[in-house]
Chain A
Amino acid sequence: MELDKLEINLRRRTSWEAIDLGFALARRWFMPLWLLWLASAAPLGVMLFLLLHDQLWLLILLVWWFKPLYEPPLMFWMSRAVFGEQLSVKTVLRQWWTVVRPQLLLNLTFRRFNPSRSFTLPVAILEQLRGKPRRDRLRTLGKNQHAATWLTVIGIHLETILETAFVAVVFMLVPEDLRWTNLNDLIFAPGRIGEWLQLVGGLLCMSLIAPFYVAAGFALYLNRRSELEGWDIEINFRRTSERVKNGGTKRTKRTGKRARSHARNGSVALLLVGLLGFMLPSTPVEAAQPVSASDAKPIIEKVLEDEAFGRYEQTQYWKYIGKPEAENDADNRWFIDLLEGLFKRLGGFFEGTAEIGKILIWIIGIALVVYLLYRVAGNTQWFRRFQRRPVRGGSKQPVELFGLDLRPEQLPENLAVEARRLASEGAFREALSLLYRGALVYLVMQEQLDIPVSATEGECLELVKASRSMGEADYFDTLTGHWLEMAYGHITPEAEPVLSLCDRWQEVYGNVDG
């Protein structure tokens, strides 16, 4: 790791400042980062589309789920870029699988819902630690680091807002005459077009947010390492050393004493850098000669004797030196003691059971995810309800028209025979109703004829005439005529035409499948 080449100015930063730094990096290198994200996401999206173009909700869910697959290339590119090596997108793509592969399965499953994903990703991708070393490393890095979680929370919100805004803008740009639905339905109960809009909007927003998310996570990681491993100090020492070296050759004898002093400081700095470098787990030592600890101690003491070190300050402050007023405390002491005892016992209890609690929380979490997956799988019918185009090939959706139950399973097995039986018993209304219902079931379920709920019998007839064969239209015309007379005119038909309709039903419509 060549800290000299670091492109960012390392200094002690709070986590929020580190996130700011990440955003600045993302703005600076947005295009390559965005292209890298798209280069990973777009092929997967196309592949999923080919497989799941009928189930857009699943497509959207999978594209979102696979986010950890698109982020490692961005992290990899940035890890090089911050040290001045800006790789081309092609170069990264050539190593794509090598970059993405480490712990991919875990990243896509157990760690998918890790709220500090962007912060922990470098440990898996760059340091390539796994198992216990990874956990130890994360424990060290993640101590008092909550900003990464907040980064994820804010990222989710921003993504949602952007996506909603995208759909709303597109909706607003549609001329009012052409609007087929309202904005509320488009967002919460989207039809086919709405789902497409959400898919496109979702992809676009994910691609816009991802560079910022990854960069901010990486900046948090760098900041934390810099804090733990003193990179900023090392860099400053190196710079000082460089300056001293250069200054030493140029200065005149008049400033010799001062220069010597600096040189001494410089050698000390190099020494310290060596020590720090030695302590860094992944930083190769390259700046100074190795010095043993026993040798270093006198050197350090000698250095500290220099007038540049050690400073005396005189400060003044107020301190109470009287006797403490114990009257009230004595009265309340028993209560404080009680609380202390209680907390100690509670603390002890939880100390002992923390591990069990942790396991329980994991079990609950896994059970919750499994339950949600089960619900999603069970409710695919519910999702399909929002698709405008009926699914061809024998869907079992309940259909109702004119108050008639059009579900095939509600029809008798041999409809024509049943209708004939009813007609021969004089139940003409029931017989005609059965025939008419059967015809509609056939048209709606098997011929996919789109009959709106507001369609009258006359309009149904028009639809049949427009889309079906002459013979079928003739039959339906006759049937509708008899049905209308019976239903609205209360005119009981002759037995013969009804029986004839029963006989012809089978040859016109055959069997109605479920």
Chain B
Amino acid sequence: MNDSQGQDQLSEKVLRKLGQLEQEIGRAVIGQRQVIRDVTIALLAGGHVLVEGVPGLGKTLLVRSLAAAVGGVFNRVQFTPDLMPSDISGHIMFDRKSDSFRVRKGPVFCNFLLADEINRAPAKTQSAMLEVMQEQQVTIEGQSFELNLPFLVLATQNSIEQEGTYPLPQAQLDRFLLKVFIDYPDMDEELQMVQQITCDAVADKLDVSAVQEVLQPEEILSLQRYTSKLEVDEQIIAYAVNIVRATRDWSGIDAGSGPRGSISLLRAGRANAVLSGRRFVTPDDIKAVAPAVLRHRIKLSADLEIEGYQPDDVLKDILSNVEAPRV
């Protein structure tokens, strides 16, 4: 059996499960289909997600459901102003019983980490966290520890209550593959959610028991490799680059996206193609992921910000002006 046949078989077998992954998460997280899709894209592309939304919309539930569906380890860190880097990565402590130093690994050693309200921790802790995201390894007292893969960080930000926060600098925002807005569910979804969650539930505990494990972490790794090797036509690469370059010259944008934006667009586009059951990337894949990939990589001019424009408004303009690929 040659490589391509092996890859085809992998995709057919695993793609079926991948389709189920979104369904499984959807059993616990009612509605929020776009958010589930974006998180799955990030998982396949091996990136991280910054989620922005008001409290109580199911961010924790989303990550727990994902962990349950993939059979990975889930951890959550509540970022506070007094959180130290060692609180995340871990530290070395003296064990009296064994009369030796022992490494106590922090919550970062997991597959799915929910960094709740990441902008409440000071810059030192934020950058330690972001370093872990980039390197996928932790150094404690000179000793390097590889993280368990797949590793996905879902950091949240509260769009209200900005007092006492440390907004993430542009350079650090750039490390997130996607920025996703989680919004209030619509009427039907909320009815269904309330009915489902309150039924046979004593307290506030999140129930992910309905979620079945459909993929193993190893399969996720295979899928990530498969996604990264997905064929991309040169025209598609040019299209992604054109979109990103347009953000640099667009009036109303003070700072456009860097080349990491183009790279992320392609990575996310590939993942979107896989999730759509295709073995090649189309312009639609790029266009579909562009807002989530680019909205945190551009800085609007003061004029537009004062007038209440959002990055998505400008990105919409850009996407409707950049010519689709010429084949």
Contacts and interface: CB of A to CB of B under 8 A. Distances in A.
Contacts of B236: 488
Interface stretch (A148-156, A385-393, A455-463): A455-463
Interface string A482-493: 001101111100
Would you call the interface of chain A mostly helix, strand, loop, or mixed?
loop
A315 interface: no
A324 interface: no
A459 B284 CA distance: 8
B282 A176 contact: no
B327 interface: yes
B324 A454 contact: yes
Contacts of B321: 454
What does DSSP make chain B's interface, helix, strand, loop or mixed?
Answer: loop
Given A403-B327, A453-B323, A454-B323, A490 B287 contact: no
Nearest to B276: A458
A452 interface: yes
A168 to B, nearest CB: 19
A290 B319 CA distance: 91
B307 interface: yes
Contacts of B235: 488
B307 A176 contact: yes
B278 interface: yes
A489 B235 CA distance: 11
A264 B324 CA distance: 98
A402 B284 CA distance: 13
Interface in B214-232: 231
Given A484-B282, A487-B233, A488-B235, A454 B325 contact: no
Contacts of A176: 307
B318 to A, nearest CB: 9
B326 A402 contact: yes
Contacts of A490: 231, 233, 280
Interface size class, chain B: 20 to 34
B323 A485 contact: no
A456 B327 contact: no
Given A176-B307, A488-B236, A490-B233, A453 B281 contact: no
B280 A489 contact: yes
Contacts of A456: 282-284, 287, 324-325
A489 B326 contact: no
B284 A403 contact: no
A316 to B, nearest CB: 75
A453 B324 contact: yes
B28 to A, nearest CB: 30
A457 B279 contact: no
Contacts, number: 58
A491 B279 CA distance: 10
Interface string B279-293: 111111001000000
Given A176-B307, A454-B319, A456-B287, A488 B281 contact: yes
Counting contact residues on chain A (CB < 8 A from B), the size range is 20 to 34
Contacts of A489: 231, 278-280
B209 interface: no
A458 B233 CA distance: 16
A488 B282 contact: yes
B322 to A, nearest CB: 6
B320 interface: yes
A458 B269 CA distance: 14
Interface in B270-323: 278-284, 287, 307, 319-323
Nearest to B243: A454
A273 B104 CA distance: 124
Interface in B166-191: none
Interface centre among B283, B319, B322, B324, by most chain A C-beta atoms within 10 angstroms, is: B324
Nearest to A455: B324
A21 B322 CA distance: 59
Contacts of B319: 454
A489 B324 CA distance: 17
Contacts of A485: 280
A459 B231 CA distance: 22
B12 to A, nearest CB: 15
A414 to B, nearest CB: 24
A447 B39 CA distance: 40
A188 B326 CA distance: 30
A457 B283 contact: yes
Contacts of A455: 324
B228 to A, nearest CB: 17
A459 B320 CA distance: 11
Given A402-B326, A489-B279, A454 B233 contact: no
Contacts of A403: 325-327
A177 to B, nearest CB: 9
A456 B243 CA distance: 13
Contacts of B281: 488
- Interface centre among A401, A452, A456, by most B CB within 10 Å? A456
Given A402-B326, A454-B321, A454-B324, A491 B284 contact: no
Contacts of A401: 324
14 contacts: A403-B325, A403-B327, A453-B323, A454-B319, A454-B320, A454-B321, A454-B322, A454-B324, A457-B324, A458-B282, A459-B284, A488-B233, A489-B279, A490-B231
**Sorted from nearest, which 9 A-B pairs have the closest CB atoms?**
A403-B326, A489-B280, A458-B284, A456-B283, A487-B327, A488-B233, A456-B284, A456-B324, A488-B280
